[in-house]
Structure 1
Amino acid sequence: MDLERPHHPPDARSAPLGIRTLLTDDHTRAELILTGEADRSTAPRLHEAIRRLLREQHLTTIDLNASALTILDLSGLRGLLRCRAEAVARGCRLVLISPGPAVLTVLRISGLLEWFGLPPSAGPPTTAAPAPRPAPGHDEIIARSEALRRAAVETRARARDMRADNEARHQRIQAARYAPGAAPPA
């Protein structure tokens, strides 16, 4: 790897996010070594660093070395997802390598381990939250849709029958009220 570009902007609101960039000789692969915290105040810097790399280089893979990343909160995770989306849109893979326990826990709870090139069983198991339910498959979605459609048809039919019953009852009441020989309403 032939290029090192340190990136340590200061921020008083959180621990600084250190980003050190290493490029391969052919400039098709980059490794970003992350240190500190990926949170609300630092995630935009990570996103900008990735955007800059994608603009300046023709990368096929970006490895995010997260071994020294101590905090990954929801904003940091959202930032990683934005980075991944931008990389994928430009034909580049974004992979997390060597994530620490804090990062693994967040990715496991959110069900995003595989999105960042990690096996679903990465790291020690956590009891912080139950495993996310898998998304329903195509056949299950079709079956649920059909069941809802049938229920809607049945509900409309019941409503139509109730309207007809109410109309018939109303006509009987009116007929009884104004029948010849019936007492006029008071």
Structure 2
Amino acid sequence: MNKNLAEWPYLLVQVVQRPGRALSVTGHGEIDMTTVDALTHTLTTALRQEHPLHIDVNLAEVTFMDSSGVNALMACRADASPQGCRITISHPRPMVRRVLAVTGVHHLFGL
């Protein structure tokens, strides 16, 4: 069965520098086991290269997230904390917010 490429899960991650050693990381698409590496790589690279004090992960355009996304966010939080960097999540869609709430991590990210 051939699938149209547009039907395949994808994730585009954008990083924008903000004032005060802050970054905004915005995801577009789905975060699952096939796409999570893009998020993980972007967050770890940003932490290593930019040494931010705050990273806001904007999930407004993330249409799906499973436990691999939660695990990636928790791993990034664990890496960021010793560096004095705070990770927050903003604008999650209702389904993504539910995943974060059901797993009990929403409060760790300012939700």
- TM norm structure 1: 0.54
Moved beyond 6 Å, runs of 4+: none
Alpha carbons of structure 1 residues 102 and 25: separation in structure 2 relative to 1, 3 Å: same
The Cα offsets for residues 124-165 of structure 1, whole Å up to 9 and x where unpaired, read as xxxxxxxxxxxxxxxxxxxxxxxxxxxxxxxxxxxxxxxxxx
Instruction: Determine which of 1, 21, 45 is the counterpart of 1:52.
Output: 45
Cα distance per residue 1:158-178 (max 9 Å; x no partner): xxxxxxxxxxxxxxxxxxxxx
Tell me which residue corresponds to 1:91: 84
**Aligned equivalent of 1:15:** 9
Q: Which residue of 2 aligns with 1:174?
A: none
Q: Identity of paired residues, percent? A: 32
Alignment correspondent of 1:113: 106
Q: Does the 8 Å contact 1:72/1:103 carry over to 2?
A: yes
> Does the 8 Å contact 1:13/1:41 carry over to 2?
no
Does the Cα contact within 8 Å between 2:29 and 2:62 map onto a contact in 1? yes
Distance in 2 separating the partners of 1:50 and 1:13: 25
Question: What SS class does the counterpart of residue 111 from structure 1 fall into?
Answer: coil
Distance 1:69 1:60, change over 3 A: same
* Bigger Rg over Cα: 1
Kept after mapping to 2: 8 A contact 1:66/1:96: yes
Are residue 66 (structure 1) and residue 65 (structure 2) matched?
Answer: no
Contact 2:12 2:38 in 1 (8 A): no
TM-score by length of 2: 0.87
Go from structure 1 to structure 2 and tell me whether the alpha carbon gap of 1:77 and 1:12 turns closer, same or farther (over 3 Å shift).
farther
Q: Is the 8 A contact 1:34 1:66 kept in 2?
A: yes
The gaps in structure 1 that reach 5 residues or longer are: 1-10, 119-186
CA distance in 2, matches of 1:80, 1:12: 26
Q: Which has the higher strand share?
A: 2
Q: Residues 14 and 41 of structure 1 are in contact (CA less than 8 Å); yes or no, is this contact kept in structure 2? A: no
**How big is the alpha-carbon RMSD for the aligned residues of Structure 1 and Structure 2?**
1.9
Aligned residues: 107
- When residues 19 and 63 of structure 1 are mapped into structure 2, their CA distance, relative to the original with a 3 A threshold, is same
Structure 1 residues 13 and 79, CA gap change in structure 2 (3 angstroms): farther
Tell me how far apart the structure 1 counterparts of residues 27 and 38 of structure 2 sit (CA, whole Å).
11
